[in-house]
Structures are given as structure tokens and as C-alpha cells.
């Protein structure tokens, strides 16, 4: 039995809950979310930062969790797809817009698409469909539901602008 403990303290907030763990410093945020915290809504796609399936928010900014060392978010607030529901437990407006606009097929990319869409709206990058496409371009949908995804973001951004 080894007495050499190479783990380090990790403290952050995930979906409003304080998290305290001991981690191997090499662990990615994605692996901590999925394997340690059982938040499996964040998907492991390419594990190379190319597909966007693992998109989450750190302090309100989108990041790909597969390339983010978990220790980099120490003391910060992480939001996953599980954390975007309304206070009443209902769907986030963009989640509902995905349903309304048939913006999903297999659903594997959907959590990352929604997290990027929420950020796109918050960042104000919704003036045109082309702008929405540009700011969601880091998220790949293998099923090709892009038209519905853009429509869902446009619908939600419009509702946000109109005070809904």
C-alpha cells in the first residue's frame, strides 16, 4: 500500500451545490462531472474539444469540459444541463424551444447545443440566423438538426428580447 497521496483538494459549486472532492490533478472537468458527480447529461463525444457535446458554463461562460482541467474551476461556479431547469423544475425556455422546433433527433448533442445556445443568447449573438450559426459552430450535430436548433435559439432570443 502506497502512502504517497497524489490527490489534491477540489472545491467548486456545481448547479448551485457546493462540491468538495479530492482529485487526481489530471482529471478533466468532464470526467469529474460524469464519473464523480453522476451528472451524465454532459456528454463525452470526441474527448478532444471538437464536437461541443461536453459544453458547460463556468462562471457563465461556455467551455468544453473535456479539455478543461477540473482544478481550473476550483472556486468557480459550474452549470451543466441539469442545472438550467426553472425553479419550478420546468424546462428552460431554450429546452422547450428545442421541443417546439424539432431541434433534436438522437439527442446526443442536445445538452451541449442547449448550453451553447443559452450562452449565445446571453452574449447577444442572435441578430441573424447566420450569426447564431457562427456562434454555435463549435457544436456538431451528426443528425443534421441545425435548422431546428437555429430556430429554437431565435425563438428563445426573441422571447427574451420581448420580456417573456
Chain centre distance of CA 125: 17
CB atoms within 10 A of CB 135: 20
The pLDDT score that the predictor gives to residue 35 is 97
The DSSP line for 6-37 is --EEEEEEETTEEEEEEE-TT-BHHHIIIIIS
The model's pLDDT over 25-68, given as tens digits with 9 standing for 90+, comes to 999 999 999 999 999 999 999 999 999 999 999 999 999 999 99
Grid cell 435559439 is found at 153
- On the CB side of 85, CA atoms within 13 Å amount to 8
The pLDDT score that the predictor gives to residue 44 is 97
Average pLDDT over every residue of 1-24? 89
Coil, strand or helix: which one is 69?
A: strand
Q: Which residues pair with 17 in a beta bridge?
A: 14
pTM above 0.75, yes or no: yes
Domains and CATH numbers, the chain: 8-83 (3.10.20.30), 93-161 (1.10.150.120)
The pLDDT score that the predictor gives to residue 1 is 46
Task: Give CA–CA dist 59/156, Å, rounded.
Answer: 21
- On the CB side of 13, CA atoms within 13 Å amount to 11
Coil, strand or helix: which one is 4?
A: coil
The DSSP line for 111-156 is HHHHHHHHHHHHHT--SSHHHHHHHTTT---TT--HHHHHHHHHHH
> Which one-letter DSSP state was computed for residue 110?
H
CB atoms within 10 A of CB 19: 17
Amino acid at each position: 500500500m502506497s502512502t504517497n497521496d497524489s490527490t489534491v483538494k477540489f472545491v467548486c459549486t456545481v448547479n448551485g451545490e457546493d462540491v468538495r472532492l479530492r482529485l487526481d490533478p489530471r482529471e478533466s472537468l468532464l470526467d469529474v462531472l460524469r464519473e464523480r458527480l453522476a451528472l451524465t447529461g454532459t456528454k463525452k463525444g470526441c474527448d478532444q474539444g471538437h464536437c461541443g457535446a461536453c459544453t458547460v458554463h463556468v462562471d457563465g461562460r461556455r467551455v468544453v469540459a473535456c479539455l478543461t482541467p477540473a482544478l481550473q474551476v476550483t472556486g468557480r461556479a459550474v452549470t451543466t444541463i441539469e442545472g438550467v431547469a426553472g425553479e419550478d423544475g420546468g424546462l428552460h425556455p431554450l429546452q422547450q424551444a428545442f421541443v417546439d422546433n424539432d431541434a433534436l433527433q438522437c439527442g446526443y448533442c442536445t445538452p451541449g447545443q442547449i448550453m451553447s445556445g443559452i450562452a449565445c443568447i446571453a452574449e447577444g449573438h442572435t441578430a441573424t440566423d447566420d450569426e447564431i450559426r457562427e456562434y454555435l459552430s463549435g457544436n456538431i450535430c451528426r443528425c443534421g438538426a441545425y435548422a431546428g436548433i437555429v430556430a429554437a435559439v431565435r425563438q428563445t432570443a426573441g422571447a427574451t428580447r420581448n420580456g417573456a
